[in-house]
């Protein structure tokens, strides 16, 4: 699926995207039609692993039992705001408290972890890794479900701009 996304995005952009201020068909540059070229840029940010180790989970745990990871990600916000595509690597299961919260060597985070990644601004993620089968298929399914409510925030470019970690 990731390979398809990696191939489809540039194809969509270069073949189907009409450049602003450029006459001619979609995908033609201004130089090809005799107009002036209008540069188009896609800014890509790719992160390393987002991993909820025991110490990270302990720091994120709130007095009401919920988790808030955004204060730990605060320094990333200015960098994330500059990128159009924010590719984040989430190599762990995010099945939630029903399956227990575990750090190394077998991981399962609260669902808040993946939700906060979306609120930070991640809008493309890899979830396949050596930790994908740390637990059962039920946990994998719960991790997939945890990502679904986050998809709208993962797609919203201004999510990180509109909500600061201090107010989250």
Q: What is the pLDDT of residue 129?
A: 87
Q: What is the pLDDT of residue 54?
A: 96
Q: What is the pLDDT of residue 132?
A: 84
**Long-range contacts from 147-156, C-beta under 8 angstroms, 24+ separation:** 147/94, 147/114, 149/115, 150/114, 150/115, 150/117, 150/118, 151/118, 153/115, 153/118, 153/119, 154/117, 154/118, 154/122, 154/123, 154/124, 154/125, 155/123
Q: What is the pLDDT of residue 28?
A: 42
For each successive 10 residues of the chain (168 residues), what is the average pLDDT?
47 44 42 52 92 96 96 92 92 93 94 91 87 89 80 45 40
Q: What is the pLDDT of residue 17?
A: 43
pTM of the model: 0.66
Q: Where are the domains of the chain?
A: 1-40, 43-167
């Amino acid at each position: 699926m990731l390979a398809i996304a990696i191939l489809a995005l540039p194809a969509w952009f270069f073949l189907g995207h009409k450049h602003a201020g450029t006459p001619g068909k979609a995908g033609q540059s201004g130089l090809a039609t005799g107009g002036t070229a209008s540069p188009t840029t896609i800014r890509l940010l790719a992160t390393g692993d987002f991993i909820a180790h025991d110490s990270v989970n302990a720091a994120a745990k709130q007095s009401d039992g919920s988790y808030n990871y955004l204060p730990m990600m605060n320094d990333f916000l200015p960098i994330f705001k500059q990128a159009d595509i924010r590719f984040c690597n989430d190599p762990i299961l995010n099945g939630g408290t029903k399956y227990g919260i575990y750090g190394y060597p077998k991981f399962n985070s609260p669902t808040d972890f993946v939700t906060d990644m979306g609120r930070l601004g991640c809008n493309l993620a890899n979830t396949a890794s050596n930790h994908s089968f740390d637990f059962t298929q039920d946990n994998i399914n719960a991790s997939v479900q945890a990502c679904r409510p986050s998809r709208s925030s993962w797609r919203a470019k201004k999510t990180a701009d509109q909500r600061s970690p201090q107010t989250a």
